[in-house]
């Protein structure tokens, strides 16, 4: 996919105050969970989170893409989240999960229970693991955006490469911000347009941190680089 500089597409960014906290998601960063680790083969960058063949840059700092269990997937709120996985090789099969490493969520495992992960690589067996959500290794990289099937009357927008998952996205119209509807495939929807020219979006991470970007127009199916990133939260674990 073409990566476009937002010197032309996103022209303003700012760090805002605190927004709403998603306590259920935040608990995944403050607790560890025991479950089963399994394999489902290569995900190819696809999956329920709709990243396509190119996962966000944060994924390159992790070992595997994974499908997250349904209860903790939270209807795609946890798309793009990173998790620390620890295994001691206990279980059954031919491909034991050992050591501690970081993974990136790009898919859903609908039949998995809380604490379970399905690794997007080839392997065999069912192995005991412990998992905990961690802030993604974004380095100096900013958030990214992608439109899908959008027009001035229907905006479907995805946030990518966020340090922490975004659980609220708002779009500015008429001088005020309006909540967008979160979808099960990792996007946010708004159909209260028409949207013309530049518009601002405000993003709220699961810990309540907020950032704002201004997007100069709708460009479908291309990855747009933002001008901001959520600050590192010293109270939460990091990859």
Query: Is 124 part of a structural domain of the chain?
Result: yes
Residue 4 three-state SS? strand
- Give, for all 239 residues of the chain, the pLDDT tens digit: 333 333 334 333 445 557 899 999 999 999 999 999 999 987 666 799 999 878 899 999 999 999 999 999 999 999 999 999 999 999 999 999 999 999 999 999 999 999 999 999 999 999 999 999 999 999 999 999 999 999 999 999 999 999 999 999 999 998 999 999 999 999 999 998 899 889 999 999 999 999 999 998 999 999 999 999 999 999 999 99
Say if 35 falls within a structural domain. yes
Helix residue spans in 37-176 (DSSP H): 70-73
Q: List, in sequence order, every residue forming a beta bridge with 87; answer none if it has no partner.
A: 99, 129
Same domain, 74 and 128: yes
Residue 46 lies in a domain: yes
- Same domain, yes or no, for 163 and 70? no
Q: Give the total number of structural domains in the chain.
A: 2
Residues 129, 151 within the same domain: no
30 part of a folded domain: yes
Q: What is the CATH number of the domain that holds 125?
A: 2.40.40.10
Q: For the whole model, what pTM was predicted?
A: 0.91
Q: What is the CATH number of the domain that holds 186?
A: 2.60.40.760
Q: How far is CA 142 from CA 10, 106, 120, 137, 156, in A?
A: 12, 18, 25, 11, 20
- 128 with 156, same domain: the answer is no
Residues 110 and 204 in one domain: no
Other residues' Cβ atoms within 10 Å of the Cβ of residue 214: 18
- The range of the structural domain enclosing residue 37 comes to 23-134
Give yes or no: residues 178 and 130 share one domain: no
Q: Are residues 119 and 152 in the same domain?
A: no
Same domain for 31 and 117, yes or no, is yes
- Last-in-domain residue among 107, 134, 161: 134
């Amino acid at each position: 996919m073409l990566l476009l500089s937002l010197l032309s597409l996103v022209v303003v960014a700012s760090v805002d105050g605190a927004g709403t906290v998603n306590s259920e998601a935040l608990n995944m960063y403050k607790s560890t969970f025991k479950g089963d680790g399994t394999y489902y083969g290569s995900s190819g960058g696809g999956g329920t989170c709709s990243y396509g063949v190119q996962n966000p840059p944060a994924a390159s700092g992790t070992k595997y893409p994974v499908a997250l269990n349904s209860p903790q997937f939270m209807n795609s709120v946890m798309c793009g989240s990173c998790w620390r996985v620890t295994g001691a090789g206990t279980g059954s099969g031919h491909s034991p999960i050992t050591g501690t490493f970081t993974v990136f969520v790009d898919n859903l495992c609908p039949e998995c229970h809380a604490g379970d992960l399905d690794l997007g690589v080839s392997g065999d067996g069912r192995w005991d693991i412990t998992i905990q959500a961690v802030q993604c290794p974004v380095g100096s990289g900013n958030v990214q955006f992608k439109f899908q099937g959008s027009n001035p009357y229907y905006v479907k927008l995805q946030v990518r490469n966020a340090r922490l998952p975004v659980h609220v996205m708002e779009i500015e119209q008429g001088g005020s911000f309006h909540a967008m509807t979160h979808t099960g495939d990792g996007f946010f929807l708004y159909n209260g347009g028409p949207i013309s020219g530049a518009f601002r979006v405000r993003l709220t991470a699961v810990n309540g941190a907020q950032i704002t970007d201004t997007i100069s127009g709708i460009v479908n199916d291309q990855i747009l680089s933002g001008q901001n990133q959520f600050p590192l939260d010293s109270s939460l674990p990091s990859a």
